[in-house]
Structure 1
Amino acid sequence: MSVLSCEWGWRCARYNGYTHGTKQSDSGFDTHLDTHVGAVITDTGRLLATLSVSTDTAGYFKLLTWANSFGQLQRAGVEGSGTYGTGLARVLRDREIEVLEVNRPDRAMRRSKGKSDPTDAENTARAVLSGRATAIPKEQSGAAEAMRAVSVARRSAVKARTQAINQLRALLVSAPQEIRERLLKAKTTECVEGCARLRSLGKTPMLQTLTTTVASVKFPKRKQPVASGQVLRQIRAR
Structure 2
Amino acid sequence: MARLPRRDPGRGDGRHRLLRRRARPLPARNGLTVIEADRPDRKARRANGKSDPVDAYAAAVLSGRATGTPKTRDGIVEAIRVLRVVRNSAVKARTQVINQIRTLMVSATSEVRDKLRGLPTKALIDTLARSRPTGSPDDPAYTVKVALHRLARRYQVLDDEIRDAEAETGPLVTQAAPRLVALPGVGPETAGQLLETAGDNPEHLRSEASFAHLCAASPISASSGRTHRHRLNRGGDRQANKALHTIVLVRMKYDPRTQQYVSRRTAEGMSKMEIIRCLKRFVAREIYRLLPHPQITSEQLCPTT
TM class by shorter chain equals 0.5 to 0.7
The answer for the alignment partner of 2:21 in structure 1 is 87
Q: Mean alpha-carbon deviation: is it higher for 141-150 or for 198-207?
A: 198-207
Contact 1:81 1:137 in 2 (8 A): no
Give the Cα–Cα distance (whole angstroms) in 1 for the partners of residues 42 and 158 of structure 2. Answer: 36
Give the Cα–Cα distance (whole angstroms) in 2 for the partners of residues 209 and 104 of structure 1. Answer: 49
Q: Among residues 175, 178, 184, which one is paired with 2:111 in the alignment?
A: 178
Q: Mean alpha-carbon deviation: is it higher for 182-191 or for 70-79?
A: 70-79
Query: What TM-score do the two structures reach when normalised by structure 2?
Result: 0.48
The superposition leaves residues 103-131 of structure 1 with CA deviations (integer Å, 9 ceiling, x where unpaired) of 334657644542334332221111122x1
What is the 5 A alignment of 1:19-168? 64-65=1-2, 68=3, 74-77=8-11, 83-93=17-27, 94-105=29-40, 110-129=45-64, 131=65, 133-168=66-101
Query: What TM-score do the two structures reach when normalised by structure 1?
Result: 0.59
Distance 1:79 1:216, change over 3 A: farther
**What is the Cα deviation at residue 231 of structure 1?**
4.0
The answer for the alignment partner of 1:229 in structure 2 is 167
Give the Cα–Cα distance (whole angstroms) in 2 for the partners of residues 106 and 208 of structure 1. Answer: 56
Q: What value does the CA root-mean-square deviation take over the aligned residues? A: 3.0
Contact 1:74 1:97 in 2 (8 A): yes
Structure with the largest fraction of helix? 2
Give the Cα–Cα distance (whole angstroms) in 1 for the partners of residues 8 and 39 of structure 2. Answer: 22
The superposition leaves residues 81-113 of structure 1 with CA deviations (integer Å, 9 ceiling, x where unpaired) of 973323211232221110011233465764454
Unpaired segments ≥5 residues, structure 1:
1-63
The superposition leaves residues 180-212 of structure 1 with CA deviations (integer Å, 9 ceiling, x where unpaired) of 122254321122112112224446432332233
The superposition leaves residues 120-162 of structure 1 with CA deviations (integer Å, 9 ceiling, x where unpaired) of 2221111122x1x111111112122222223333222211111
Three-state SS of the structure 1 residue aligned to 2:132 is: coil
Contact 1:102 1:124 in 2 (8 A): yes
Distance 1:116 1:154, change over 3 A: farther
For 2:22, give the aligned amino acid.
Answer: L
**What is the Cα deviation at residue 166 of structure 1?**
0.4
For 1:127, give the aligned amino acid.
Answer: L
For 2:35, give the aligned amino acid.
Answer: L
Give the Cα–Cα distance (whole angstroms) in 2 for the partners of residues 216 and 127 of structure 1. Answer: 50
Three-state SS of the structure 1 residue aligned to 2:55 is: helix
Identical positions, percent: 33
Distance 1:227 1:109, change over 3 A: farther
The answer for the alignment partner of 1:35 in structure 2 is none
Contact 1:82 1:140 in 2 (8 A): no
Unpaired segments ≥5 residues, structure 2:
177-305
Give the Cα–Cα distance (whole angstroms) in 2 for the partners of residues 77 and 138 of structure 1. Answer: 16
Give the Cα–Cα distance (whole angstroms) in 2 for the partners of residues 123 and 144 of structure 1. Answer: 32
Contact 2:6 2:31 in 1 (8 A): no
Give the Cα–Cα distance (whole angstroms) in 2 for the partners of residues 189 and 79 of structure 1. Answer: 51
The answer for the alignment partner of 1:189 in structure 2 is 122
Contact 2:9 2:34 in 1 (8 A): yes
Contact 1:195 1:214 in 2 (8 A): yes
